[in-house]
């Protein structure tokens, strides 16, 4: 699926560089020992659901059992500023979609 959908959308101003090899050829390749950071600290809210914490803990243990180095790393993020910036982008994109839809659905005037 990644090989079929990778690459820029039409008109995208930026995108990830193309992979050196097909994603499918990477399936089953041993990645070697990885250094993986994690955090249970939420960026937007004041708490993380207990089921999510359990899932994170199980994933951390699995990665450790597979031989990877797993470290907790809490990022210094201003949650309120991040939420404000995120919502600004979402609202801007929503307005653009509404404007585009209006242009497509409104009858054209020829006067």
| pTM metric for this prediction | 0.60
Q: CA 89: distance to chain centroid? A: 15
> Is residue 110 predicted with pLDDT exceeding 70?
no
Residue-wise pLDDT for 50-92, tens only, equals 999 999 999 999 999 999 999 999 888 888 899 999 999 999 9
Dist CA 3 CA 19 (whole Å): 9
pLDDT on residue 111: 58
107 SS3 class: coil
pLDDT on residue 59: 98
111 SS3 class: coil
Phi, psi of 37 (to 5 degrees): -100, 150
- Residue 77: which of 30, 107, 40, 43 has the closest Cα? 43
Tell me which residue has tokens 């949650």: 79
> Is residue 100 predicted with pLDDT exceeding 90?
no
Residue-wise pLDDT for 14-59, tens only, equals 888 888 899 999 998 988 999 999 999 888 877 899 999 999 999 9
């Amino acid at each position: 699926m990644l090989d079929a959908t990778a690459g820029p959308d039409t008109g995208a101003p930026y995108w990830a560089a193309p992979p050196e090899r097909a994603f499918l050829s990477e399936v089953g390749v041993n990645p070697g020992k990885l250094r993986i950071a994690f955090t249970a600290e939420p960026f937007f809210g004041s708490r993380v659901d207990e089921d999510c914490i359990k899932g994170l803990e199980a994933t951390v243990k699995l990665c450790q059992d597979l031989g990877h180095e797993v470290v907790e790393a809490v990022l210094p993020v201003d949650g309120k500023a991040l939420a404000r910036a995120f919502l600004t982008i979402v609202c801007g994109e929503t307005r653009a979609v509404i404007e585009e839809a209006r242009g497509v659905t409104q009858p054209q005037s020829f006067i």
